[in-house]
Amino acid sequence: MTRTAIITGSTSGIGLGIAEAFAAEGYNIMINGFGDADEIEETRARLEEMGEGEVGYHGADMTKPGEIEHLVKQTEARFGAVDIVVNNAGIQFVGPVEEFPVEKWDAIIAINMSSAFHTIRAALPGMKERGFGRIINIASAHGLVASPFKSAYVTAKHGIVGLTKTVALEAAEHGVTVNAVCPGYVLTPLVEGQVADTAKARGITEEEVKNDVMLKAQPTKEFVTVEQLGALCVFLTTEAAASMTGTALPVDGGWVAQ
């Protein structure tokens, strides 16, 4: 039986890396996210060629509960089931809390946290009915520890770790596991933008942000890769991971061990 996965925010960065790992394993996938329509279609077709599964695209805006529900329903209608949900869509904004734009706060809470509530409430009934499900929430090392100037992001990521634990308990007897993956820094478009913003907020150069702020936090002094995260997510969908639930797994080069 071919399993079906929804991966939110998979037109770029970590979500795309996870989609590539799932495609290579032969899953059916519904990708999601913003971008140029032709580029998204190219990505969809490339993913489909990588494995045996089919790959669809749904453009649901993760700030809109109705569109998120439609994403789940549409995927169920097309593939017959939603077995795996990877809640990955996310944005970042860096600035002191007293100057933090209210609309940025609201958007980060909606996209990085509440969207997972909406995919879960739509997908969980089917998972319970079929007795199998895997929910993977891409949190962050910032779901476990804080950094200055990231109040909305750190709040949302701590929140998603709480949601992970709660739903894990509610779903535990139904063959559904719920886990959070907590990456350290990965060089994706999101982080490239953050380098510039952090440099501005702290009054230092972009090179100093990379070496003295980001990799300073990571004892390995290496950025985490999307391939490492994709492989972990694939593992979490297997029978070998059936007893892992309610966890928040750091993949952060040792950051939160300090």
Please identify every residue annotated as catalytic.
153
Closer of 132 and 135 to ligand NAD (Cβ): 135
Using rule CB under 6 A, residue 14 touches ligand NAD = yes
Residue 160, both tokens: 């998603």
Q: What separation, in Å, do the N-terminal and C-terminal C-alpha atoms of the chain show?
A: 43
Distance of CA 49 to the CA centre of its chain: 23
Residues numbered 178 to 207 that lie near ligand NAD (CB under 6 A) are 183, 185-186, 188-191
Using rule CB under 6 A, residue 43 touches ligand NAD = no
Residue 248, both tokens: 């928040």
Residues numbered 131 to 150 that lie near ligand NAD (CB under 6 A) are 138, 140
Using rule CB under 6 A, residue 225 touches ligand NAD = no
Mapping DSSP onto H, E and C, the string for 35-80 reads: CCHHHHHHHHHHHHHHCCCCEEEECCCCCCHHHHHHHHHHHHHHHC
Is the distance from CB of 56 to CB of 44 less than 8 angstroms? yes
Residues numbered 87 to 106 that lie near ligand NAD (CB under 6 A) are 88-91
Using rule CB under 6 A, residue 253 touches ligand NAD = no
Residues lying near ligand NAD in the complex (CB under 6 A): 9-15, 32-35, 61-63, 88-91, 111-112, 138, 140, 183, 185-186, 188-191
